[in-house]
């Protein structure tokens, strides 16, 4: 990446040449982050938040990211991260040792990520070349897009902007121009999801979590009894979406045709389909007041699972024979 001396060179007349290893081929453009932007506290905070997020996601796999610029280029970490987020299995080699095999692996991962993000390759702010060449700006754009899509509750620093220097190699020499590029969107308190009762419960009263789980499991089992089903573990038995869909059908009076979901899901993709359908039904009924990612349910995130079940518990607890006071913080 660029150095302070490179940045100074760009301030000289446009005919000044860059070192050969830095200058783009004639007719092409190359982007650089200005040193000033690299040292911006919000820019540094964004990298820190993303690294902590990735390391938290991949902790069970004993993967640690220490530098977004140096550790993401070969597709290995992106491969594990995307599979975890999307609950998909990519048919790609686990370990790629040569540069050619690393590029091939990266291409497969990015193709799948672009499909999931619904981004055309020509519109993406990243590419195989930029990621493989350790372009920090492109890497950040990709990670922010993934976090926004799969982890909407992740609090990214808002309005992170960087000064970008674009160099173009022409017949008459090098030309440079500066511009400002947005990495994260601005946000207001209204736009940002506020902490809900389960954020507070897990943080301030973790000893009460088991009691809340027990109350909800009892409620669920009472409603599923007529189907001959029972739940022992709230943490694991809702991950495939089957019991969740059957519960919603019982409570909301939905008839779900077996062609609409997978009764015996055999892959993460089928589990994700089930959970996504369940969350869409709840949204249609106005029951989800807090954003929940279907990937979190599939990945057995207890807090997300509780949010979903508690929304049903609040609406239907009168019929469950529970105190009918308005739903608030679980106690």
Digit-coded pLDDT (tens) for 170-223 = 777 778 788 888 999 876 554 555 556 666 666 666 677 888 888 889 999 998
Q: What is the pLDDT of residue 267?
A: 85
Q: Are residue 129 and residue 93 in the same domain, yes or no? A: yes
φ, ψ for residue 293, nearest 5 deg: -90, 130
Q: How many domains does the chain have?
A: 2
pLDDT at 329 over 90: no
Q: What is the pLDDT of residue 147?
A: 92
| 323 or 288, which is more confident | 288
Q: In the sheet where 161-170 sits, what is the strand order?
A: 29-33, 161-170, 173-182
| CATH code assigned at 94 | 1.10.418.10
Last residue of one domain, picked from the residues 154, 182, 210: 182
Q: Are residue 160 and residue 85 in the same domain, yes or no? A: yes
Q: Are residue 269 and residue 212 in the same domain, yes or no? A: yes
In tens, the pLDDT along 101-150 reads: 888 989 999 999 999 888 888 889 999 999 999 999 999 999 999 999 88
In tens, the pLDDT along 163-184 reads: 888 888 777 777 878 888 899 9
Q: How many other C-beta atoms are found inside a 10 Å radius of the C-beta of residue 64?
A: 12
Q: What does the mean pLDDT of the chain come to?
A: 80
Q: Are residue 154 and residue 274 in the same domain, yes or no? A: no
- Cα distances (angstroms) measured from residue 220 to each of 195, 208, 238, 241, 268: 25, 19, 11, 14, 24
pTM higher than 0.75, yes or no? Answer: no
Last residue of one domain, picked from the residues 156, 182, 208: 182
pLDDT at 13 over 80: no
Does a structural domain hold residue 286?
Answer: yes
Q: Are residue 140 and residue 215 in the same domain, yes or no? A: no
> At what angle are helices 99-117 and 136-150 packed, to 10 degrees?
40
């Amino acid at each position: 990446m660029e150095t302070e001396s490179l940045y100074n060179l760009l301030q000289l007349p446009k005919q000044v040449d860059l070192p050969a290893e830095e200058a783009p081929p004639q007719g092409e453009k190359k982007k650089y982050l200005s040193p000033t932007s690299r040292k911006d506290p919000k820019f540094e905070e964004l990298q820190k938040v993303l690294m902590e997020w990735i390391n938290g996601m991949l902790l069970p796999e004993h993967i640690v990211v220490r530098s977004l610029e140096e550790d993401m280029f070969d597709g290995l970490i992106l491969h594990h991260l995307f599979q975890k987020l999307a609950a998909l299995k990519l048919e790609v080699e686990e370990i790629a040792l040569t540069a050619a095999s690393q590029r091939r692996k990266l291409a497969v991962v990015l193709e799948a990520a672009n499909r999931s993000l619904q981004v055309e390759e020509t519109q993406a702010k990243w590419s195989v070349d930029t990621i493989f060449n350790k372009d920090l700006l492109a890497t950040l754009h990709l990670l922010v897009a993934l976090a926004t899509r799969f982890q909407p509750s992740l609090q990214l620093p808002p309005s992170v902007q960087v000064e970008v220097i674009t160099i173009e190699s022409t017949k008459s020499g090098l030309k440079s121009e500066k511009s400002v590029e947005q990495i994260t969107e601005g946000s207001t308190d209204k736009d940002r999801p506020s902490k809900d009762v389960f954020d507070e419960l897990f943080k301030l009263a973790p000893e009460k979590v088991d009691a809340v789980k027990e109350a909800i499991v009892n409620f669920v089992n009472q409603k599923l009894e007529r189907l001959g089903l029972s739940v022992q573990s709230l943490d694991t038995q809702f991950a495939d979406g089957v019991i969740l869909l059957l519960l919603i059908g019982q409570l909301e009076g939905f008839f779900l045709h077996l062609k609409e979901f997978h009764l015996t899901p055999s892959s993460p993709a089928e589990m994700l389909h089930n959970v996504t359908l369940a969350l869409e039904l709840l949204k249609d009924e106005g029951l989800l007041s807090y954003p929940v990612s279907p990937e979190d349910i599939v990945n057995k995130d207890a807090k997300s699972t509780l949010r979903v079940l508690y929304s049903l518990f609040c609406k239907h607890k009168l019929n469950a024979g529970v105190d009918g006071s308005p739903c608030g913080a679980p106690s």
